[in-house]
Structure 1
Amino acid sequence: MENQYGICRVAVAPLRADASDKAEIVSQLLFGEHVEVIQKEERWWLVQNGYDGYQGWMDFRQLAPISQNQFVEMHDCKFLVPKGYNHVLKAVDGSLYHLSTGSNLPFYKDGYCYAGEEKFEVTFEPHNSSKADFKAEVTETSKFFQNVPYLWGGRNIFGLDCSGFVQTVFKLLNIKLNRDASQQAEQGELVGFLAEVKPGDVAFFDNAEGKITHVGIMLNPNEIIHSSAKVKIDPIDDQGIFNRELGVYSHKLRIIKRFVE
């Protein structure tokens, strides 16, 4: 099949494990994220996210076509929807799109962005991730998402899974992370001891089989912000995360990684 490329033209599009509305949601696309089409089955297309390489099935009607050159250009999209809950695009027909923090503003210029041939007026000041200061902003950016509910596969301000939360925070700060916790654990530089932790370091946790299953952002050597039931701050020590509500250690610490020295 000849390579085909698309861009998400809705606020949030589910990526599913199979070609069915009933299939598990494994991740989500946000507005303006670009994909390569891998396979087609009627209205269901298997796509690969150009940002993190993650694959899933989606309804092709939630995509607008783009060229290969546009697909490549989108790899370096720095204009994003900023932190907040009232960021709106206006389509040519006057209809509105309410976007989630961290969504792309593709091909942004002079107050407009474009999804394929569709033109949208940007009614807010974009966030330019290339100007972000990681060390100065990581704590505030992480805490913006506090109390967002946990959602398996979620990547938006009304539902985030643990790795989706970390990936979104880092995207706003101009650092590209993979999608799943186990994939993110392969990135960054190892931090030897909990006492050496700096704000923005990322802690990973494993299960009884030794598989990385959880991730969160360190605020300091004693506190972590992570998505578990909701995005929240919990105490952490060498054993792992202590859940005050359950009165037990809920996640066993495996490793800590640093992405900015």
Structure 2
Amino acid sequence: MKKEQNTEVGICRISIASLRERPDHQSSLVSQVFFGERVIFLKRKNKNWFKIRCHWDGVIGWIDPKQFYFSDQFDKIISLDSSTFSLEYIHGLSSEKSTIPIVLGSNLYNCDGLTVKMPFGKFQYSGQIIDLKQSNFSRKLLVTIAKRYLHCPYLFGGRSITGTDDSGFIQVAFKLIGLNVPRFPFQIAKYGEDVGFLKEAMPGDIALFGPDAHTINHIGLVLEDEKILHANGRVKIDRLDHQGIYDLELKKYTFKLRSIRRLFSEIDY
């Protein structure tokens, strides 16, 4: 990413920060920022609202700066080692003064398996982690991580285990195997490689749905045995065929299949 002159960079210092469409707590939720994730400062409305761009996916919105640590040392903060992530649903990150509850997918800087050294403090963390430098990544691992979101409630703009939309939890699952993917379905529709037929799809591929080929409004993660993991009311598993998603509870089709994308090809199952 090209450095902008006098750019400030922020690191989320709470469990989950809301990224909103406008500088108003009643404004629509665009996305969420997890503990340890970095944002680039764009402009300030007042002391309560900063407009930022998410460093990992480029999504722009408004945040409450009191929930972030900001620094003008752009190169230093961007280059910090943040290749370790929390794998626990929710787990405490403790210091001498307090404990911060962090969620699945949070960034743990300079983590040695017990100690986490953030720019704003040193913490102890005893929960399960995943380290990009030491893990063997596969489609199976991607699916296993994504399934941790099962029964998580649907939340428009969400990407955490407390609430996620259809693309949010999928983005986090890919993050934890070291791949940055776009935040929104319409972006994912242009990402990766097209899989021509459903019978050629593999677990970990992305199925895209919509009323027509030019309007993608839902995505899901392809599983084995003609199943799909997706968020509709909650994160759930339904049947997938050439028509689309067949809801196993409602006993009817709910989303029409338009295409399947493969976001990686070098990782074995």
TM-score under structure 2 normalisation?
0.89
Is 2:19 the counterpart of 1:6?
Answer: no
Asked if the contact 2:113/2:129 (under 8 Å) is kept, the reply is no
Partner amino acid, structure 2, of 1:101: L
Say which of 73, 76, 82 aligns to 1:70. Answer: 76
Q: Equivalent residue for 2:44?
A: 40
Give the % identical residues: 33
Q: Equivalent residue for 1:112?
A: 115
How much does 1:116 deviate?
Answer: 2.9
Structure 1 residues 52-74: Cα deviation after superposition (integer angstroms, max 9, x where no partner): 11111011000102321134215
Unaligned runs of 5+ in 2: none
Is 2:48 the counterpart of 1:26?
Answer: no
How much does 1:3 deviate?
Answer: 1.2
Asked if the contact 2:113/2:126 (under 8 Å) is kept, the reply is no
Structure 1 segment 1-261 matched on structure 2, within 5 A:
2-42=6-46, 43-66=48-71, 67-74=73-80, 77-82=82-87, 84-93=88-97, 95-109=98-112, 111-130=114-133, 131-208=135-212, 210-220=214-224, 222-261=226-265
SS for the counterpart of 1:124 is: coil
| Distance in 1, Cα, partners of 2:75 & 2:111 | 16
Q: Out of 113-122 and 59-68, give the one that drifted further.
A: 113-122
TM-score under structure 1 normalisation?
0.92
Higher helix share: 1
| Distance in 1, Cα, partners of 2:16 & 2:92 | 13
How much does 1:216 deviate?
Answer: 0.7
Partner amino acid, structure 2, of 1:72: I
SS for the counterpart of 1:199 is: coil
| Distance in 2, Cα, partners of 1:141 & 1:117 | 29
Asked if the contact 1:197/1:221 (under 8 Å) is kept, the reply is no
Unaligned runs of 5+ in 1: none
Give runs of ≥4 in structure 1 deviating > 4 Å. none
| Distance in 2, Cα, partners of 1:25 & 1:159 | 12
Decide whether aligned partners of structure 1 residues 139 and 234 sit closer, same or farther in structure 2, where only a CA change above 3 A counts. Answer: same
| Distance in 2, Cα, partners of 1:204 & 1:24 | 24
- Number of residues of Structure 1 aligned to a counterpart in Structure 2: 258
Partner amino acid, structure 1, of 2:28: E
